[in-house]
Amino acid sequence: MKHSELNIFKENGQKIACLTAYDASMAKLIDSAGVDIILIGDSLGMVIQGAENTRSVSMKDMLYHTEIVAKACKQALVIADMPFHSYENAQTALANAKELINNGANMVKLEGGSENTEVIKALVSNDINVCGHLGLQPQLVVDSSGYKVQGRDKDSAQIILDNAKILDSLGVDILVLECVPSNLAKSITNSVTIPTIGIGAGKECDGQVLVSYDMLGISLGKQPRFVRNFLNSENTITAAVKAFVLEVKQGNFPAESESY
């Protein structure tokens, strides 16, 4: 997928399938299996480094994983997470985002809404493609008790909706919505011009993302309800990834039981 195709997908109602990757082998497999977007998520803090949250991931870590994943991707759009503390002001954010782009990312992702206005303006005016991230913001979560559905009441839902509109007006290209009720994700999706990519946000989003290790059953312990193990019904990892892509494209993932 090219960056210029994002809005065409939304306009045509074509769903966007996204998975995370952190290494070359998995990136190559996921890319060949037809995923539209590969995200080098700072979930690598938990998945690769065994940390309790994403906050210890550094720019050095992100640059390393971005470079090896980007080199392995032929067709997917590559998005790299900006780690905690890497976008505290416009100048720092711009310098760090440029490094991620130089290492092969097509776009950078950062968490938060209007508080990032100056940062986003600096990135957009320097032609850096930006992915927003609202709802549950993992960089604000310190331990597992913080992983909660966001925007359940009227006021907090309104804040998320307002922030989505602000990000859209600032020129953000695409928006991840994490752990929000389906009806809120639906109204955000209908209120913004950019595609929304849900994780625990229901099937009305313009696309879906999962952590690859979660949807292959590699992550141990109790999984959130929005995680489906696609390897349960397939024999190979490639088949599981293809099944994910198909289920997203056909609007069959997530089911209501996998949503809030």
Per CB under 6 A, residues contacting ligand KIV are 20, 39, 41-43, 81, 176, 178, 199, 209, 211
Helix runs in 73-217, H state only = 90-102, 117-125, 154-170, 182-191, 212-215
- Residue nearest ligand KIV, CB atom distance: 41
Is 118 an annotated catalytic residue?
no
Q: Point out the catalytic residue in the list 67, 99, 111, 178.
A: 178
Q: Which is nearer to ligand KIV, 154 or 241 (CB)?
A: 241
Percent helix, strand, coil in the chain, to 5, is 45, 15, 40
Q: Which is nearer to ligand KIV, 161 or 201 (CB)?
A: 201
Neighbours of 98 (CB within 10 A): 14
Least distance between ligand KIV and beta carbon 64 (Å): 15
Least distance between ligand KIV and beta carbon 161 (Å): 19
Report how far apart, in Å, the C-alpha atoms of 88 and of each of 32, 85, 119, 149 are: 36, 6, 8, 25
Q: Which is nearer to ligand KIV, 84 or 119 (CB)?
A: 84
C-alpha 236/C-alpha 44 separation (Å) is 23
Which residues form the catalytic set? Answer: 178
